[in-house]
Amino acid sequence: MAVKKMNRYVTLLLTLLLSLAVGFVFMLILGYQPLDAYLQLFRGAFIGSVNLGTTLQKFVPILLTGIGFAVAAKVGCFNAGIEGELYLGAMAAALTGHYIKGLPAPLHLLICFLAAIIVGALWAAIPALLKVKWGVNEIAVCILAGYVAKYITSYLCNGPFSAGSGVPQTPQVEEGVILPYIMEPSQANAGIFIAVLAVAAVIWLIYRSTIGYKFTTVGLNPYHADYMGINSKKVIVQGMMLSGALGGIAGAIEVLGTYGYFLDNFSLNIANDGMLSSMIVWNDIRLVPVMSFFIAALKAGALSMERFAGVPRSIVDTITAIFVVFATMETLFTIKKKRKAKSGKGGKKE
C-alpha cells in the first residue's frame, strides 16, 4: 500500500511536468515567450502579498468545491452541479447578510452560513433524489440545475435585490458578518480558516466515523451495502447533500469574505476548477487540498501572466485540462492492472 501511495505522488509529479511541458510547446507554437510566461506565472502566484493573497483567495473556494466533489464521488455520484450550489449558497449568504439586522455579529454570521449550507444541500438533493427514486442520470440533472441556479441568482441581483448601482450586485452585507481580509491589499480573507475547519471536519467524517464508512461502502458497491443493511439510497442523498453544503459554504465565504456582496457571475467556473482538482487526484479527499492549492496558484499566476507577459490566461486552462487528461489516463491504467490481478486470483464476478 505504501509503495502504491508513493507511486501516486510520482505519477502526479510526472503528469504535472508533462502538462507544463505541453503548455510550453503550445506557447512556443503560438509565438509567446514560454519562459517569460512561466516566470510571470510563478511571480503572480507567490511573490508579494497581493499575489500570494490572490492565490489564497482563489484556493478557498476551489478547495471547498473540490472536497465537495470528492465527497459526492465517495457515494458514487458525479456532482457536476457544485457551481450552482455555490451560486445559490452565495446568494443566500448575501441576502441573509444584508436583510437581517440587529443581531449580534457571531449569531448573524452563523445564520448566514446556515442559510448557505441549507440552500446548497437542498439544491444538491434534487439530482440525488431523482437518481435514487427514478434512476435519472445525476450528471445531466446537475449540469442543468447548475444553469438554473446561475440564472436565478443573476435575475435576483439584477432585479428584485439589485443594489441599484451600475454593477449587477446585491447591497453590501452588514458590517458584522464581513470576514476580515488577512493579507491586505489582496482579497484573501478569514474564510480560509472556516474552510480549513470544514475540510478537517469532512476528513474526520469520511475516514473516522460510521457515516464515512457507510459512504465508502455505498460508493464501492450499493448492492453490497443494501445487503449489509445500509440504506444505500438514503446514503447517496446524504452524500450529495453534504457535497452541496460544501458548495454553499464556498459561496458564503466568497460573498462574506471576498466581495461583501453578491456579484453577478462572480464565480467564473471556480467549482469546475474544484471538480478538476478532485478528479486529478482520483477523488482522494486527503490529496484534494494539495491539488486545489496548486490549481489556485495556477489561476492566480495566470492573471499576472496575462497582464505582464501578454499570454492569454486560457493557456493555463489548457494546461489544467491536459493535466486532467494525463492524470485520468494513469487511473485507467491502474484500474486495469487491478482487474487483471483479480482475475488472476480467479475471483471473477459478474
Partner 1 sequence: MKKRLLAVLMGCVMVIGLAGCGGGTSTGTETETSADTETAADAETSGDPIKVALVYSGFLGDKSFNDLAHDGAMRAKEDFGIEVQELESGEAADWEANFVAMADAGYDLVIGVSTQFQDIMEKHCPNYPDTKFALIDGVSDAGDNVVSTLFAQNEGSFLTGAAAAMFTTHTEIEGVNEEKIIGWVGGMDIPVLHDYFVGFEQGAKYIDPDIQILQSFAGNFTDALKGKELATAQINQGADVIANVANITGIGAMEAASELGVYAIGVDTNQDSLYPGHIITSMQKKVDNCTYQIIESVVNGTFEGGTSTYFNLANEGVDVTDFSVIKEALGDQFPQEIVDKVAELREQIINGEIVVDYYEGYGDPANQ
Interacting residues with partner 1 (CB under 8 A): 10, 14, 17-18, 21-22, 24-25, 28, 33-36, 39-40, 48, 50, 54, 158-159, 164-169, 184-187, 259, 263-268, 303-304, 307-308, 333
Beta bridge partners of 181: 189
CB of 1 to partner 1, least distance (A): 17
CB of 216 to partner 1, least distance (A): 27
CB of 347 to partner 1, least distance (A): 23
Whose cell is 479527499? That residue is: 285
CB of 170 to partner 1, least distance (A): 12
User: Of the two residues 17 and 200, which places its CB atom closer to partner 1 in the complex?
Assistant: 17
Contact 54, 217 (CB under 8 A): no
CB of 24 to partner 1, least distance (A): 6
Residue type, 149: A
User: Of the two residues 106 and 184, which places its CB atom closer to partner 1 in the complex?
Assistant: 184
Helix axes 49-74, 210-220, angle to 10 degrees: 70
User: Of the two residues 43 and 233, which places its CB atom closer to partner 1 in the complex?
Assistant: 43
Which residues, other chains included, contact 89 with Cβ-Cβ below 8 Å and sequence gap of 6+? 116, 117, 119, 120, 247, 248, 249, 250, 251, 252
Contact 147, 138 (CB under 8 A): no
User: Of the two residues 137 and 269, which places its CB atom closer to partner 1 in the complex?
Assistant: 269
User: Of the two residues 88 and 263, which places its CB atom closer to partner 1 in the complex?
Assistant: 263
Closest C-alpha among 65, 73, 49, 115 to residue 262: 115
User: Of the two residues 38 and 69, which places its CB atom closer to partner 1 in the complex?
Assistant: 38
CB of 145 to partner 1, least distance (A): 22
Helix axes 232-253, 105-134, angle to 10 degrees: 140
Beta bridge partners of 263: 169
Residue 34: cis peptide before it, omega within 30 degrees of 0: no
